[in-house]
């Protein structure tokens, strides 16, 4: 099964994808994690990606498509994948459809999450992520704090704040999302595989609730 997560930064894509990974046994793959790994290791790709990400801009299509195409060939995703952070543009979506078609696959479900902008900013500024690349559990200092300050509940590793998780960069990322990524909603709506969900404390529905609904729907 091929699942895609759509939504502006901070809408809970990573949270929903992580829960679906546990419940459905399908590997979650975040392009953001791939980029951050390359940035930390100082690779050529990492340096190129960092020049865009650090300013709140999207990494060019050709670089991103190449990374994802290579990732889709790995054994751990042969039975399915949850793509978090890809595609971000219609060009990427069309490329993904072509790549999947060549192996007799297709996108089965596209989850589109929406959240009020003021909640997104508050959520991202307060976001902390487990530094263990095998865990990557996401916390929020206000909504979902760890039991011990600065320590992951699951694996005991230190929690970190991503350097681009600040208000200025977040606003830029939201603006870029609306300009470049939101057309994907219409693209997948036409394909008939779009699932819309609102994630907001104002309606008392968070990412874990949406994930539970999707898991029930797919089982």
Active-site residue set: 13, 88, 127, 162, 173
DSSP readout, 188-209? Answer: HHHHT-EEEEE-BGGGTB-HHH
- Give Cα separations from 56 to 13, 50, 164, 173 (angstroms): 18, 10, 7, 5
Closest CA relative to residue 49, chosen from 100, 91, 88? 88
> Edge-to-edge strands of the sheet including 81-84?
27-30, 81-84, 2-7, 109-114, 194-198
8-state DSSP, 181: I
The torsion angles phi and psi of 161, rounded to 5 degrees, stand at -105, 125
Q: Strand pairing partners for 4?
A: 83, 110
Q: List b or e across 97-128, with b for residues whose CB sees 16 or more CB atoms inside 10 angstroms.
A: beeeeeeeeebebbbbbbbeeebbbbbbbbbb
Two structure tokens written together for 20: 């679906």
């Amino acid at each position: 099964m091929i699942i895609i997560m759509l939504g502006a930064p901070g809408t809970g894509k990573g949270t929903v994808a992580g829960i679906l990974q546990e419940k459905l046994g399908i590997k979650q793959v975040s392009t953001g994690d791939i980029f951050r790994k390359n940035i930390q290791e100082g690779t050529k790709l990492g340096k190129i990606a960092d020049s865009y990400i650090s300013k709140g801009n999207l990494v060019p299509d050709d670089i991103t498509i190449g990374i994802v195409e290579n990732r889709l060939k790995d054994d751990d995703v042969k039975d399915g994948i949850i793509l978090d952070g890809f595609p971000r543009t219609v060009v990427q979506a069309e490329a993904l459809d072509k790549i999947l078609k060549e192996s007799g696959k297709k996108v089965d479900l596209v989850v589109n999450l929406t959240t009020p902008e003021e909640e997104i900013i508050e959520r991202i500024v307060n976001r902390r992520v487990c530094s263990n690349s095998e865990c990557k559990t996401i916390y929020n200092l206000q909504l979902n704090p760890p039991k011990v300050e600065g320590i992951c509940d699951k694996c005991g590793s230190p929690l970190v704040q991503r350097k681009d998780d600040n208000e200025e960069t977040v606003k830029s990322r939201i603006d870029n999302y609306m300009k470049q990524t939101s057309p994907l909603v219409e693209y997948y709506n036409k394909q008939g595989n779009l699932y819309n969900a609102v994630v907001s404390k104002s309606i008392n529905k968070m990412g874990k609730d949406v994930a539970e609904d999707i898991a029930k729907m797919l089982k």
